[in-house]
Amino acid sequence: MNSPHSISLEVQETGSRIDRYLSQQLPDLSRSRIQKLIEEGNLVLNGTVCTSKKATMQMGDRLSLTIPEVQPLDLQPEEIPLDVLYEDDSLIIINKPAGLVVHPAAGHEAGTLVNALLAHCPLAEIGGVQRPGIVHRLDKDTTGAMVVAKTDQAHQHLQAQLKAKTARREYLGVVYGSPRTECGTIDQPIGRHSGDRKKMAVVPPEKGGRAAMTHWRVQERLGHHTLMLFQLETGRTHQIRVHSAHIGHPIVGDPVYSSGHSVGVNLPGQALHAWRLRLQHPVTGELLEAIAPLPQTFTTLLEVLRRRFGSFDGKN
């Protein structure tokens, strides 16, 4: 869909909403995309422009939907190596390294994951703009599994899974200290830090905090440190890092939320890794599970702590 063109249809049923009917007839376009096209005056119903997505279809109605030219993304492809865990025509799951920013922003206009994706695979048309379908993000120095949609339909489907909490994201992190219990849940709202706009913090809802929930479980106790498994219910910015610091067990190596002492390993940032991603394939409906191997710096940290303190398995 790189140039404007029209799709003509004659309705063979009665009673359907116009946006629902078009989404059934045009599976390559998401319903939200169709609604936007209608609202922008791209639909002609029986010779007259129709801007109501709620209009009801009648047998024999003639529809003509114009798909405008796709707007190119003003970003340059860059040949940046990607560690691909899974890929097909609908999506790609990559193992993001530390130091790689996901999306261009002030101070990081190039050298991002988006630049790398533009060079790696065909662009998706999402909302009428050519761009990689970023579904969720990882912080610059957080490593691990991250899914990116290749089509508008896949993007909508994957975002809906995250919202409905049917897609599961599990992280491994090394924290300072040793929790008293084996597992728990942190249910604290997160918002911008009042004194530092670059930081997030636990903030009450009346001051702008948004609901955030993180489940955790001890995987291995390592003296004054602990390997933890985190599972996200929500996806707020810096969520695990903020929640861990809030309960007194900040992530080792976190340059923003931890003031812990050096552990003797040269870490690129926080010891936090998106280990496992489970989701439903947006086309086939099959369960996909991607496991991202731990980066070398993370395994080195674990080895050093095991030698220094010994360990025991904290799992039930």
Place of tokens 């897609």: 167
Dihedrals phi, psi of 50, to nearest 5 degrees: -120, 120
**From residue 230, how far is each of 175, 276, 300 by CA, in Å?**
11, 10, 20
CA distance 139 to 306: 27
Please enumerate in sequence order all residues whose Cβ is within 8 A of that of 55, keeping only pairs 6 or more positions apart, or say none.
17, 18, 45
Q: How far, in Å, CA of 255 to CA of 259, rounded?
A: 8
What's the half-sphere exposure (Cβ side, CA atoms, 13 Å) at 259? 2
17 class by beta-carbon count within 10 Å (0-12 exposed, 13-18 middle, 19+ buried): middle
Active site residue 254: no
Per the residue annotation, which of 28, 61, 83, 139 is the catalytic one?
A: 139
β-strands 168-176, 272-280: how paired? antiparallel
Residues identified as active-site: 139
